[in-house]
Each structure stands twice: as C-alpha cells, then as structure tokens.
Chains A and B, each alone.
Chain A
Amino acid sequence: AQSVAQPEDQVNVAEGNPLTVKCTYSVSGNPYLFWYVQYPNRGLQFLLKYITGDNLVKGSYGFEAEFNKSQTSFHLKKPSALVSDSALYFCARDAGNNRKLIWGLGTSLAVNP
C-alpha cells in the first residue's frame, strides 16, 4: 500500500540555523510528492511539490526539498530558520491520477529565538 512516513514528531532548531524535516515514501510507481504547512487552527498551505525533473525543488518562503529516489526520501529544508516557520509540516504523495493525497502524520517544527 502507498504510504508516507515522517519519522520525527517534533524538530527543534535555533533561529538562523538550517532546518530539515524528514519524509520517506513507499515505493510505488512514480510518486508525486508534496509538502504543506499548517498553522494552528488553519487549513493546509502548499509549500512545494516534486513531479519530475530536477531533484531539488524550490518552494514558498525559502523552503526547498530534495527528491532522493534511492533512499525514497523527500526531505524539506531551509538554510536559515525563522521563528515564524514554527508550525506543523505535512508530507504527502498522490495516490495516482490525482484521486487523493496520502499523508504523513506531520512534524511539529519549533524554531527557538
């Protein structure tokens, strides 16, 4: 079955330091992979996606993600974290034909001043 795993429930990083939020996916076809961010009591905001091509994807708010097929990973990164980046981050993959998204459990990112 198709699945997405986010191995860390929480990530803590100091402001100004680089951040990484990890995501791995089950091997099934050619997945389309997504990152969304969720602020408290808000909906999900799209950050970036990997469809094909360059393995390094750049997205909103200075975030980027690297698609690694051999490690079946799609980690989210940012060179310099901001306190305002503190939120819940979700990795997702499509189930094919854009029928639905399959989600990880989310990683809570806390950026400390």
Chain B
Amino acid sequence: DTGVSQNPRHKITKRGQNVTFRCDPISEHNRLYWYRQTLGQGPEFLTYFQNEAQLEKSRLLSDRFSAERPKGSFSTLEIQRTEQGDSAMYLCASSTGLRTDTQYFGPGTRLTVL
C-alpha cells in the first residue's frame, strides 16, 4: 500500500493526558499537512511541512499542540494536557508540493478525550 498511513486509528484518553499521532506520507511527497475535523464540520487546517521545515501553523494550534517532521519523512502530532474539546478526527495529507498537485489523505486518527 503506497497511500498515506496514520497510526493509531483510534485513541481514547483521559483529560490531561498527552497523546501522539503518527503520519507516514506517500513516498517522495515533500509536503505534509495536518487537519482537524469535528462532527458536522469540514476539515480545518492545522499546520504543514515542506520536507522537515514547518512553514505554517494555524491559530487553532495552541501551545499544547506540537508537530514535527524530523527527517522530512513521517510526521508526529503531539497534544499535551488533552481537553475534551480536542476530541476530533485528525487527518494527515501529503502532496508533491506543486501548486497544481492533489493532497492525498490518510484514514485519520479519531481522538476521544474523556
């Protein structure tokens, strides 16, 4: 399978705990994006990387959120001190970086904060 993969697919945690999600993009895709989607809403942009550089962060990404892409391949999204409002589907996408290119999405990680 050469698509975008995300792990875990589901995560249930208690409020105040830290969680980390992983995204493996399509091989050789330079750009990697994180979005968040809540029920009844479209995805909301969180951040994106060009290779290992984080080029843009949304104001939605509070100080409790951090994302990395240390070697320009996979990426991790960490949420510290989770809150119930963090419950959502976290989506990862990748593309070649050309403006005309398509973003291809992974299956998402569904986070539930109790």
Contact = CB atoms under 8 A, between A and B. Distances in A.
Interface of A: 32, 34, 36, 41-46, 49, 51, 90, 92, 94, 96-106
Contact of A105 (B31, B42, B100, B104): B42
A43 B55 contact: no
A100 B110 contact: no
A19 B84 CA distance: 38
Nearest to B45: A100
Interface residues on B, range: 20 to 34
Contacts of B110: 41
Closest 7 CB pairs of A and B: A103-B42, A100-B45, A44-B105, A43-B105, A43-B107, A98-B99, A43-B108
A45 B31 CA distance: 18
B106 interface: yes
Contacts of A103: 42-44
B27 to A, nearest CB: 18
B41 interface: yes
Contact of B99 (A44, A97, A105): A97
Interface of B: 4, 6, 31, 33, 35, 40-45, 48, 55-56, 91, 93, 95, 97-108, 110
A40 to B, nearest CB: 11
B108 A51 contact: no
B45 A51 contact: no
Given A98-B31, A99-B55, A43 B106 contact: yes
Q: Which of B43, B48, B56 has the most CB of A within 10 A?
A: B43
